[in-house]
């Protein structure tokens, strides 16, 4: 059984009388441990899809099975718990809490978990070491470079040891060298640690780090093909 | 999420904008400070008045004309002339009232007194010589007037320390002739200063026989009061009861609701003062409460701004697993902590002001004004402030909790 399976997924945003379809019947399946990139121009519905896959939004129509179960059976509270335990998010704009140290930013998901607070520091430190920022433990976001901020965000996504990572344009605000470092970390999370990764991007080059690319256009799947010549971030000087 | 985590998160929210947080709670600080000040100063005033009443002696009973007023519209009932000599005669009769030790009719008024070129506006009390025993007045110069003076309508006066000082300076007053309302009186005694710790200001007063006062100063044949002293404290209530029954008989009253007099013991007066001070406190505190409501609205306003400003933070927290409830509690606690801090600051400020007021009142008008720290009011103040945070924080916190995480994340 697929880890993630969506069928005829539709999402319509309605603003009073005006209805705007964002997704018009999307179907695909993703195996556990797969690295999938979702591509498409802006307005193609890729962010909407990511939000639905990440339980941040519910579909208007269609089915979504996560880990073999339909999400319709879960309450918002249960979805929040799964999001906390099994999912990690990385955003284009990093979304770190200002005036908050690296350590405390990374600990944030643990506040909402069932992990006892005596383990929080240890878990956060381990996640920060994994992204190579042990020397920036007590720095605030304003004291960090863009690449370092995104690495803090990845550490935060990792701290609860999630099964799946959602990365929404993670390199979009970074220079190419920092972007390369981020992609290297993401590839490692997938290959070495076996985590499922769903990456959203509008850059073909970035998308080609994945095993498979789903192209969206106007809310439907234009193509869904495997990547034959994958980029290995650690071997390349980008662009 | 543990309470400790919530507290840490909420305090971080407050700390991140210190000056705005401080300004926000100013209304709460002022409101709570005002309440503490009112309660403390009110308590001080009440204690002072009660001390005065107790100074009258626990055996003292006062009979006044008119029935006890039951409300503002009833006030006119006091001004009647129902107490007369026959009442005094009846009350003196042991077969009517048992255990009565002393009794004196009393009249009062304001007069101008003069000696030579010195004149002074003051109050007088007309009574029998027994008032000296009841109020424990012992002249430091000369002696109190006597029974004979009362009987003969003698123009004699015992003057308080302030009156003596203003008219005579440091020279002797006893034996001198003064003019009261243009009529000559002989000063027979001067009272030592009791200090101004008195609402019945003995120092600024002239005591004369009531008969003299009735005839020459007031031109009346009734009394403003009858002052009675019971033999012991234990029987005060029974004596008061006997007085009521006796006066009802002499006034031909069968229905107690139609009484044209009322009898007050010291306990009654203490009770009445307690009631008055309570009404006043409630009134003043209601005014202060308005400031708390205004402060609460300020809190709500600022929390709404904070919720909008921190939309992204809310979205992020939800993305990493915070439930609506987590967010609700976080913002509610933030508002509650904020107002509780305001409450604490208000208690400290109010206590400081009350202490300053006590010191100033004691120094400037040399009243024996005691400072009392209202412990219960302090807890109440902080509690009320926290409740305001809870109430006015609820709406902004709900707004935060119900924010759509996607829109929240998109917000930049």
- What's the pLDDT tens digit per position in A147-202? 999 999 999 999 999 999 999 999 999 999 999 999 999 999 999 999 999 999 98
Instruction: State whether B214 and B330 are in the same domain.
Output: no
Q: What gap in Å lies between CA B225 and CA A43, rounded to an integer?
A: 94
Which residue is associated with the tokens 């029935």?
B67
Q: What is the pLDDT of residue A11?
A: 94
Confidence of residue B346 (pLDDT cuts 50, 70, 90): very high
CA distance, residue B285 to nearest chain A CA (Å): 41
Confidence of residue B341 (pLDDT cuts 50, 70, 90): very high
Contact residues for A122 (Cβ-Cβ < 8 A; gap 6+)? none
Asked if the Cβ–Cβ distance from A112 to B16 is below 8 Å, we say no
Whether the pLDDT of residue B409 is over 80: the answer is no
Least confident of A31-35, A168-172, A234-238, B184-188: A234-238
Residue B76 forms part of a structural domain: no
Residue B208 forms part of a structural domain: yes
B264, B62 Cβ separation under 8 angstroms: yes
Instruction: Provide DSSP, chain A.
Output: --SEEEEEEEEEEEETTEEEEEEEEEEEEE-TT-EEEEE--TTSSHHHHHHHHTTSS--SEEEEEETTEEGGGS-HHHHHHHHHHHEEEEETT--PPTT--HHHHHHHHHHTSSS-GGGHHHHHHHHHHHTT-GGGTT--GGGS-HHHHHHHHHHHHHTT--SEEEEESTTTTS-HHHHHHHHHHHHHHHHTT--EEEEEES-HHHHTTSSEEEEEETTEEEEEEE-SS---GGG----
Give the structural domain span for B136. 105-218
CA distance, residue A11 to nearest chain B CA (Å): 14
Q: What gap in Å lies between CA B379 and CA B347, rounded to an integer?
A: 9
- Residue B254: alpha-carbon gap to chain centroid: 36
Q: What gap in Å lies between CA B100 and CA B87, rounded to an integer?
A: 14
* Nearest CB neighbour to A81, from listed B2, B321, B405: B321
Asked if the Cβ–Cβ distance from B12 to A100 is below 8 Å, we say yes
* Nearest CB neighbour to B16, from listed A57, A99, A111: A99
Residue B114 forms part of a structural domain: yes
Asked if the Cβ–Cβ distance from A80 to B318 is below 8 Å, we say yes
Residue B398 forms part of a structural domain: yes
Q: For residue B404, which residues of chain A lie inside 8 Å, CB to CB? A: 57
Asked if the Cβ–Cβ distance from B320 to A109 is below 8 Å, we say yes
Structure letter (DSSP) for residue B213? I
Q: For residue A99, which residues of chain B lie inside 8 Å, CB to CB? A: 16
Confidence of residue B339 (pLDDT cuts 50, 70, 90): very high
Least confident of A102-111, B251-260, B299-308, B318-327: B251-260
Instruction: State whether B36 and B140 are in the same domain.
Output: no
Instruction: State whether B397 and B277 are in the same domain.
Output: yes
pTM, two decimals, is 0.74
Q: What is the pLDDT of residue B280?
A: 86
CA distance, residue B313 to nearest chain A CA (Å): 7
Instruction: State whether B48 and B109 are in the same domain.
Output: no
| Closest to B298 (Cα-Cα) out of B18, B25, B14, B13 | B25
Q: Please give the interface size between A and B, counted as residue pairs whose CB atoms are below 8 Å apart.
A: 63
Whether the pLDDT of residue B197 is over 50: the answer is no
* Nearest CB neighbour to A111, from listed B5, B325, B409: B5
Per-residue pLDDT, averaged over B297-319, amounts to: 91
Asked if the Cβ–Cβ distance from A77 to B318 is below 8 Å, we say no
Average pLDDT, chain B: 87
Q: What is the pLDDT of residue B196?
A: 52
- What's the pLDDT tens digit per position in B238-296? 999 999 999 999 998 888 888 888 898 888 888 888 888 888 888 888 888 888 888 89
**Site from A23, A49, A80 to mutate, B interface, most B CB atoms within 10 angstroms:** A80
- Of B175, B201, B218, which residue is a domain's last? B218
Q: For residue B315, which residues of chain A lie inside 8 Å, CB to CB? A: 95
Q: What is the pLDDT of residue A235?
A: 67
Asked if the Cβ–Cβ distance from B316 to A108 is below 8 Å, we say yes
Q: Which two tokens stand for residue B122?
A: 């003051």
Asked if the Cβ–Cβ distance from A80 to B412 is below 8 Å, we say no
Asked if the Cβ–Cβ distance from A109 to B321 is below 8 Å, we say yes
Q: For residue A112, which residues of chain B lie inside 8 Å, CB to CB? A: 1, 317, 320-323, 326
Q: For residue B330, which residues of chain A lie inside 8 Å, CB to CB? A: none
Whether the pLDDT of residue B368 is over 80: the answer is no
Q: Which two tokens stand for residue A170?
A: 């993670």
Q: Is the dihedral of CA B74, B76, B81, B83 positive or negative?
A: positive
- Of B185, B200, B218, which residue is a domain's last? B218
Instruction: State whether B124 and B196 are in the same domain.
Output: yes
Asked if the Cβ–Cβ distance from A112 to B1 is below 8 Å, we say yes
Whether the pLDDT of residue A21 is over 70: the answer is yes
Structure letter (DSSP) for residue B202? G
Asked if the Cβ–Cβ distance from A95 to B324 is below 8 Å, we say no
Whether the pLDDT of residue B76 is over 70: the answer is no
Percent share of chain B, pLDDT over 90: 45
Q: What is the pLDDT of residue A239?
A: 40
Which class for B30: exposed (0-12), middle (13-18), buried (19 or more C-beta within 10 A)? buried
Q: What is the pLDDT of residue A238?
A: 44
Asked if the Cβ–Cβ distance from B320 to A100 is below 8 Å, we say no
CA distance, residue A97 to nearest chain B CA (Å): 7
* Nearest CB neighbour to B322, from listed A51, A80, A99: A80
Side-chain-facing half-sphere of A53: CA atoms under 13 Å: 32
Instruction: State whether B305 and B401 are in the same domain.
Output: yes
Q: What is the pLDDT of residue B377?
A: 81
* Total domain count, chain B: 2
Least confident of B42-56, B290-304, B374-388: B42-56
Residue B94 forms part of a structural domain: no
Asked if the Cβ–Cβ distance from B320 to A84 is below 8 Å, we say yes
- What's the pLDDT tens digit per position in B146-160? 999 999 999 999 999
Residue B261 forms part of a structural domain: no
Q: For residue B16, which residues of chain A lie inside 8 Å, CB to CB? A: 98-99
Instruction: State whether B45 and B153 are in the same domain.
Output: no
Per-residue pLDDT, averaged over B33-62, amounts to: 82
- Residue B247: alpha-carbon gap to chain centroid: 31
Which of residues B408 and B6 earns the better pLDDT score? B6
Which of residues B38 and B196 earns the better pLDDT score? B38
Per-residue pLDDT, averaged over A117-139, amounts to: 94
Q: What is the pLDDT of residue B365?
A: 67
Per-residue pLDDT, averaged over A141-145, amounts to: 95
Instruction: State whether B277 and B391 are in the same domain.
Output: yes
Q: Which two tokens stand for residue B278?
A: 């309570």
Q: What is the pLDDT of residue B343?
A: 93
**Site from A112, A156, A200 to mutate, B interface, most B CB atoms within 10 angstroms:** A112
Residue B242 forms part of a structural domain: no
Asked if the Cβ–Cβ distance from A80 to B313 is below 8 Å, we say no
* Nearest CB neighbour to B313, from listed A89, A97, A112: A97
Average pLDDT, chain A: 92
Asked if the Cβ–Cβ distance from B323 to A112 is below 8 Å, we say yes
Per-residue pLDDT, averaged over B114-121, amounts to: 90
- Of B187, B202, B218, which residue is a domain's last? B218
Instruction: State whether B279 and B403 are in the same domain.
Output: yes
Search chain B and give the residue with CA nearest A115: B1
CA distance, residue B383 to nearest chain A CA (Å): 28
Instruction: State whether B190 and B292 are in the same domain.
Output: no
Complete domains list, chain A, with CATH: 4-235 (3.40.50.300)
- What's the pLDDT tens digit per position in B165-176? 999 988 888 899
Residue B61 forms part of a structural domain: no
Instruction: State whether B202 and B280 are in the same domain.
Output: no
Asked if the Cβ–Cβ distance from B320 to A112 is below 8 Å, we say yes
- ipTM score of complex: 0.91
Q: What is the pLDDT of residue B127?
A: 94
Whether the pLDDT of residue B356 is over 60: the answer is yes
Least confident of A163-167, B61-65, B274-278, B390-394: B274-278
Q: What is the pLDDT of residue A59?
A: 94
The runs of H, that is alpha helices, within B235-323 are 236-250, 266-309, 311-319
Whether the pLDDT of residue A232 is over 90: the answer is no
| Closest to A117 (Cα-Cα) out of B57, B293, B282, B4 | B4
Asked if the Cβ–Cβ distance from B315 to A95 is below 8 Å, we say yes
């Amino acid at each position: 059984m697929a880890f993630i399976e969506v069928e005829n997924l539709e999402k319509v945003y309605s603003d009073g009388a005006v209805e705007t379809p964002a997704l018009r019947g999307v179907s695909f399946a993703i195996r556990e441990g797969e690295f999938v990139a979702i591509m498409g121009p802006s307005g193609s519905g890729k962010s909407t899809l990511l939000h639905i896959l990440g339980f941040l939004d519910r579909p208007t129509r269609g089915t979504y099975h996560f880990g073999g179960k339909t999400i319709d059976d879960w309450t918002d509270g249960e979805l929040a718990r799964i999001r906390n335990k099994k999912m990690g998010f990385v955003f284009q704009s990093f979304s770190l809490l200002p005036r908050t140290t690296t350590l405390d930013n990374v600990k944030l998901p643990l506040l909402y978990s069932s992990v006892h607070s005596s383990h929080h520091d240890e878990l956060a430190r381990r996640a920060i070491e994994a992204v190579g920022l042990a020397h920036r433990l007590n720095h605030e976001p304003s004291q960090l470079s863009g690449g370092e901020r995104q690495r803090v965000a990845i550490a935060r996504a990792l701290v609860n040891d999630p099964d799946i990572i959602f990365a929404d344009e993670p390199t979009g605000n970074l220079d190419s060298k920092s972007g390369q470092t981020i992609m290297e970390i993401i590839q490692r999370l997938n290959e070495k640690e076996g985590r499922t990764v769903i990456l959203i991007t509008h850059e073909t080059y970035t998308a080609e780090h994945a095993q498979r690319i789903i192209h969206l256009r106007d809310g439907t799947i234009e193509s869904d093909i495997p990547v034959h010549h994958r980029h290995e971030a650690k071997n390349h000087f980008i662009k | 999420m543990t309470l400790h985590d919530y507290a840490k998160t909420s305090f971080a929210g407050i700390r991140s904008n210190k000056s705005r947080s401080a300004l926000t709670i100013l209304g709460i600080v002022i409101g709570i400070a005002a309440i503490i000040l009112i309660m403390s100063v009110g308590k001080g005033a009440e204690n002072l008045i009660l001390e005065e009443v107790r100074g009258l002696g626990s055996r003292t009973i006062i009979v006044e004309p008119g029935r006890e007023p039951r409300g503002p519209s009833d006030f006119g009932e006091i001004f009647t002339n129902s107490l007369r000599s026959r009442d005094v005669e009846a009350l003196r009769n042991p077969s009517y009232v048992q255990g009565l030790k002393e009794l004196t009719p009393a009249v009062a008024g304001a007069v101008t007194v003069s000696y030579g070129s010195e004149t002074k506006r003051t109050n007088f009390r007309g009574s029998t010589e027994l008032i000296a025993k009841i109020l424990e007045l012992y002249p430091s110069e000369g002696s109190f007037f006597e029974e004979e003076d009362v009987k003969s309508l003698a123009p004699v006066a015992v003057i308080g320390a302030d009156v003596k000082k203003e008219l005579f300076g440091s020279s002797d007053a006893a034996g001198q002739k003064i003019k009261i309302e243009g009529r000559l009186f002989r000063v027979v005694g001067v009272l030592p200063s009791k200090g101004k710790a008195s609402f019945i200001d003995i120092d600024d007063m002239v005591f004369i026989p009531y008969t003299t006062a009735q005839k020459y100063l007031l031109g009346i044949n009734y009394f403003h009061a009858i002052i009675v002293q019971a033999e012991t404290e234990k029987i005060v209530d029974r004596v008061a009861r006997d007085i009521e029954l006796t006066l009802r008989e002499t006034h031909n009253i069968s229905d107690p609701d139609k009484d044209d007099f009322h009898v007050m013991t010291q306990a009654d007066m203490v009770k009445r003062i307690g009631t008055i001070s309570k009404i006043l406190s409630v009134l003043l505190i209601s005014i202060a409460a308005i400031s708390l409501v205004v402060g609460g609205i300020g809190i709500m306003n600022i929390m709404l701004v904070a919720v909008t400003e921190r939309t992204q933070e809310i979205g992020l927290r939800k993305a990493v697993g915070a439930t609506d409830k987590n967010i609700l509690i976080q913002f509610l606690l933030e508002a509650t902590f904020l107002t509780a801090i305001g409450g604490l600051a208000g208690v400290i400020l109010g206590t400081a002001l009350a202490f300053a007021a006590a010191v100033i009142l004691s120094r400037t008008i040399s009243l024996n004004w005691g400072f009392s720290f209202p412990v219960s009011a302090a807890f109440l103040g902080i509690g009320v402030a926290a409740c305001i945070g809870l109430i006015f924080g609820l709406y902004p916190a709900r707004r935060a909790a119900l924010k759509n995480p996607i829109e929240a994340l998109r917000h930049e």
